Chains A and B, each alone.
Chain A
């Protein structure tokens, strides 16, 4: 198709924000038609437990869906805000509460499903871990961090699996001369898939190291335990060899068990058995100004279950970024063309990306239900924010206007668009 509109492509969440937006808007419309509290409609429809097979055959991996939902409502003080809303309306002020309970599929893999859906590539990830004679570690990853921070979280995974300081781990990425094959950082897959490959390779290193340690300790391999970076015979921690001593022996190669190659290195190509399914509930409280119709977010609470969190700060950063992008879609961003097809919002002066000053404090909480679908128990966190926040914000604004008879306003809900919807309804001049 020929078009002169601005090129578009998959955007953070790609498909799940749209699906969640429709579902969560419908939840609120059901509540209105039935005269129920929007929280109650969701409460009655949430899944009790995982694993859960959907009508389309997907198997949700793990989750405490109702617990997370109630936790979000409790943290956001849902009932208190409903009371505030009643009082505010009597004073002529407009407060609204929006809920969004999402579940999404990410950690894009495995290859057999990707190929079956017509995808042109497999969806594994690969990594090579090389332990140097000093015990320091180089990790060559096909997964590519470009701002998401996996240089840190992958190093944490290796440090934890091998019991070594995180500073001893170097993550090498991005240079295809050096790194193994990678399928890309998208679809919230880099921690569950790429991180899974890192964990499995580190575990292979550990198992080989255990064999070498057993020979150094003159013990049977099955009697050797590994704890806090040291190998020792079960019950005798006083006589141990460190991971670094084992690494040196791997290269000196004079005390290796029979048949074991020198060196300490592992490569894995990890292809998970299934997707992962993060979920959560976000609650947004807004006040809409009665004269300018400008919405202001008073509180934003995100409770997400992304399985085991490797690095809380990076995970929270992903939630913040995603929520901001979703708020931007709900309230600010849009592409405008004139009648001859010229893009009028061609620069950031005109295209409204919100600034820090336009945004609320984002309160982020995690519930960790390990996913059984990968070695880390991790689910993706990169897109949950954009998936959850747009309907939470739009629901909140429309909830503030509920008694004025407006059920829908096309995004973005700018002050002008809110005013216009009310004016078209005849409720304001």
Chain B
């Protein structure tokens, strides 16, 4: 289907973009890579009168380290995140996650800001628990310095209102010490959204105990969730594959997965447990390898 008619606005600065958003309010949508918004417009699930294309705003595409934080500009593409040597070294979970989004064409166009703003409950990035810093959901910086909104996702395809619609950047910690990460994604067909996705982070202390364990799940609820039961089971302990397998059984606690044309809620619950085991096992092995 063709989208309903709309006008394209092309701001040249972040301030101009924010002014446009303020002016047109609910009648405007922000276009970055277009891989979420354009299909929705073609299905006429959304019919914005104005599309604000932010691709020409300078300075929104970067990956850099500042004060122990990795900062990623909103217009950074999935492919740039996948290929970034800085991320591969300091937080490889983001690189691995990006590498499993869609296909190469999607990764060349799609942006991290667009993905987070779109808030698809099965999107890949939001499952990443390394960025949540003790909070339930990722922390975002919106519209420039100082305007923070915690807990970006509210319900499917909706972010909290204070998060507005255009995070200008994402941030993640630069990981140090003995750590390992892994992202497991189950799809029935390549380049689909996740049936279930599980991101895991394991940080080991000098004596090999699990100092920090983080598990984030996507595709299993209205928003990405942390598997806190699993984390509790493992933190402070010497990990083993058996222990991980037992702990992973708690991955489906409290989740409320959808039943859709691909799979039932029950299947997704099982897969949450199976993929949690796989992701944690892989993250643990990687962490063990980094131990001196």
Contact = CB atoms under 8 A, between A and B. Distances in A.
Interface of A: 291-292, 294, 332, 336, 344-345, 347, 349-350, 352-355, 357-358, 414-416, 419-420, 429
B188 A352 contact: yes
B261 A347 contact: no
A332 B267 contact: no
Nearest to A290: B274
Contacts of B44: none
B186 A416 contact: no
A163 to B, nearest CB: 47
A414 B262 CA distance: 8
B4 interface: no
Contacts of B43: 347
B262 A358 contact: no
Given A416-B262, A419-B270, A349 B190 contact: no
Given A291-B274, A344-B261, A352 B267 contact: no
Nearest to B188: A414
A420 B267 contact: yes
Interface in B162-200: 186, 188-192, 195
A208 B263 CA distance: 67
Given A291-B278, A419-B267, A332 B189 contact: yes
Given A347-B43, A414-B262, A358 B190 contact: yes
Contact of B261 (A345, A355, A415, A419): A345
Contacts of B202: none
22 contacts: A291-B274, A291-B277, A291-B278, A292-B186, A292-B271, A332-B188, A349-B192, A352-B188, A353-B189, A354-B190, A355-B103, A355-B189, A355-B191, A357-B191, A358-B189, A415-B188, A415-B263, A416-B262, A416-B267, A420-B264, A420-B267, A429-B270
B35 to A, nearest CB: 11
B273 to A, nearest CB: 9
A336 B267 contact: no
Contact of A355 (B190, B262, B274): B190
A277 B191 CA distance: 39
Shortest Cβ-Cβ A-B pairs, 8 listed? A357-B190, A291-B274, A416-B263, A336-B261, A355-B190, A352-B189, A416-B267, A358-B190
A175 to B, nearest CB: 31
B39 interface: yes
Contacts of B275: 292
A332 B189 CA distance: 8
B186 A294 contact: yes
B251 to A, nearest CB: 13
A47 B275 CA distance: 49
Contacts of A354: 189-190
Nearest to A328: B189
Contacts of A291: 274, 277-278
Contacts of B278: 291
Nearest to A292: B186
A307 B185 CA distance: 45
A339 B32 CA distance: 37
Interface in B96-122: 103
A418 B260 CA distance: 16
Nearest to A347: B43
Nearest to A291: B274
B190 A292 contact: no
Contacts of A429: 270
A354 B103 CA distance: 13
A353 B189 CA distance: 8
Contacts of B188: 294, 332, 352, 414-416
Nearest to A415: B188
A349 B39 contact: yes
Nearest to A357: B190
Nearest to B263: A416
Contacts of A336: 261
A345 B189 CA distance: 14
Nearest to A412: B188
Contacts of A414: 188, 262-263
Given A291-B274, A292-B186, A347-B43, A416 B264 contact: yes
A354 B188 CA distance: 9
A309 to B, nearest CB: 32
- Centre residue among B191, B192, B261, B271 by max chain A CB count within 10 A: B261
A166 to B, nearest CB: 36
A98 B261 CA distance: 27
Contacts of A294: 186, 188
B150 to A, nearest CB: 32
A414 B190 CA distance: 13
Nearest to A350: B261
Nearest to A346: B43
Contacts of A355: 103, 189-191
A350 B263 CA distance: 12
Contacts of B190: 354-355, 357-358
Nearest to A334: B261
Contacts of A349: 39, 192
- Centre residue among B103, B189, B270 by max chain A CB count within 10 A: B189
A290 to B, nearest CB: 9
B241 to A, nearest CB: 14
A354 B192 CA distance: 10
B67 to A, nearest CB: 40
Nearest to B277: A291
